[in-house]
Chains A and B, each alone.
Chain A
């Protein structure tokens, strides 16, 4: 199985400051069609996960543009340009290139 490793596992950020979360995969996530099926999901407290980013850097409709994704092959990053109070929660990377689909351990974001 592809192992997804996130860092850090916990992040305390001052409101208005940037934040970034790293995700590394144990093998390349480039699919046979040339796409990279790397997703970022946000899970606010008590809520189901919500997709923020798909295919590394495509933002889900309605997601604020302060969220962005970057990376290639095995190394990926979720960037939050200016953290807001509503961004508190756990963020997961997820790969959909190889079966079984796998998730990172999650990164808990809190406000300092």
Chain B
């Protein structure tokens, strides 16, 4: 059974860093693109980043470019999101999702990140 489990969230102060992880199981992780998406409290969905099979190709949304970095370790079946210089507006539930050409077909349960002084 395909499963994506995010971890690493929590409460941080503005300007601090956090690294989210997403553990994948039940499918051939190295054979799929992956993405991060977030949802601010009571708001809609915002796509953040995308990474190719081997991690050689990445895309980041302008809102996080230069602050957030997506990466993966196929040997550990894990996806990561390094988040630096966090701001209050980064407060959200962060989801990892299995991606394809133009779609996101399976999502994790999400992890909460709160940025507050």
Contact = CB atoms under 8 A, between A and B. Distances in A.
Nearest to A51: B105
Interface residues of A, number: 26
A33 B95 CA distance: 28
Which size bracket describes the interface of B in this complex? 20 to 34
Given A39-B103, A51-B103, A99 B44 contact: no
Interface in A40-65: 41, 48-51, 54-55, 60
A106 B103 contact: no
The prevalent SS among residues of B at the interface is strand
Contacts of A55: 102-103
Given A100-B61, A100-B62, 15 more contacts: A37-B101, A37-B103, A48-B109, A49-B107, A50-B107, A54-B102, A60-B105, A94-B103, A95-B102, A96-B102, A96-B104, A101-B35, A101-B50, A103-B46, A103-B47
Interface of B: 35, 44-47, 50, 59, 61-62, 95, 101-110
